[in-house]
């Protein structure tokens, strides 16, 4: 998903590998100084999202044990898609024949 209303950023300071045991999903390492700088640079984005920054951990096609992180940062004018519940909030209360 790469259109004019958003951009993605690879988090090159975060490294993930498959866990050594079945109960360990992933083992994550970060370069602390780079992560701190990145968090400071994205502070405004977090404030607009109730203090959260969300990113995805993806598997590399070449080696399923290698993983990488990708951050989605909405740009100005981006609108989150409207869910069915938000579109018709009174649907549950309406007296529908079906």
**Kindly report the CA angle at 49 between 85 and 74, in degrees rounded to 5?**
90
Q: Locate 75 and state its tokens.
A: 């740009």
Residue 75's Cα: distance from chain center in Å? 14
Q: How confident is the model at residue 64 (pLDDT cuts 50, 70, 90)?
A: confident
Q: What is the overall mean pLDDT for the chain?
A: 80
Give the integer Cα–Cα distance in Å for 26 and 32. 18
What was the pLDDT predicted at 3? 44
Percent of the chain scoring above 70 in pLDDT: 72
Residue 1 has pLDDT above 50, yes or no: no
Instruction: Strands of 1-98 (E only): list them.
Output: 6-10, 14-18, 26-30, 55-59, 66-74
Q: Locate 49 and state its tokens.
A: 């999202």
What are the angstrom distances between the C-alpha of 82 and each of 46, 56, 85, 87, 88?
A: 21, 21, 8, 6, 10
What are the angstrom distances between the C-alpha of 28 and each of 8, 24, 35, 50?
A: 20, 11, 13, 24
Mean pLDDT computed over 8-35:
91
């Amino acid at each position: 998903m790469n259109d004019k209303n958003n951009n993605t950023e690879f988090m090159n300071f975060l490294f993930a590998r498959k866990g050594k045991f079945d109960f360990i999903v992933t083992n994550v390492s970060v370069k602390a100084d780079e992560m701190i700088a990145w968090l400071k640079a994205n502070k405004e984005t977090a404030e607009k999202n109730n203090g959260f920054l969300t990113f995805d951990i993806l598997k590399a096609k070449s080696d399923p044990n290698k993983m990488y992180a990708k951050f989605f940062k909405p740009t100005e004018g981006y609108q989150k898609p409207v869910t069915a519940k938000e579109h018709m909030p009174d649907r549950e209360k309406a007296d529908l024949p079906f």
